[in-house]
Amino acid sequence: MGTELGRTLPSGSVVCFFGDLAAGKTTFIKGLVSGAAQLDPDQVNSPTFVYLNIYEGTCPVYHFDLYRLEGQTAFLGMGFDEYLGAPGICCIEWSEKIQDLLPSHYIRVKMSHLGENKREITIIR
C-alpha cells in the first residue's frame, strides 16, 4: 500500500502518520520511499534519534520521526519547517506534536495494530 501511495504523490506532498508504537508507520514509509524515490526499502530506517532522514532518489523524501521531539518550538528552532514546503515528499511520524504547523493540504495516514501481522490503515487526502 505504501509503494502505491508513493507512486501517486506529487512533489510538495506532506504525509502525516498517526498510530501507536509498532503500528507499522516506518514499514509503510519504506514502501512509500520505494514508490516515490525508486529506492530500495532496506535503505529506509526510523530517524528516532536524529529526527530526520533524507532519501535522495527520483523524488527526494524527507522522513521525520518526532517521537522524541519536545514540541513545535524545537521543530522550528531546528529549521525543519522549511521541509514542509520543499520540493519532494515530506513524511512525518508523530506529527501531532507539530499539529499547528502542518499545511492544510496534508495527507493523513491513520494506522492501527490489530494483530501480529494485521493492521488497519486509513488514508485521508
Q: What distance in Å separates the CA atoms of residue 54 and residue 57, rounded to the nearest whole number? A: 10
Q: Which of 43, 76, 71 is nearest to 63 (CA)?
A: 43
Percent of the chain with pLDDT over 90: 80
pLDDT at residue 45 in the model: 85
The grid cell for 121 is 490503515
pLDDT at 107: 97
Q: Which domains does the chain have, with CATH numbers?
A: 2-100 (3.40.50.300)
119 falls in which pLDDT band (50, 70, 90)? confident
* Whether pLDDT at 118 is above 90: no
> Which tens digit of pLDDT belongs to each residue from 18-50?
998 888 899 999 999 999 999 988 899 888 889
How far is the CA of 94 from the CAs of 10, 16, 90, in angstroms? Answer: 22, 8, 13
pLDDT (0 to 100) of residue 40: 87
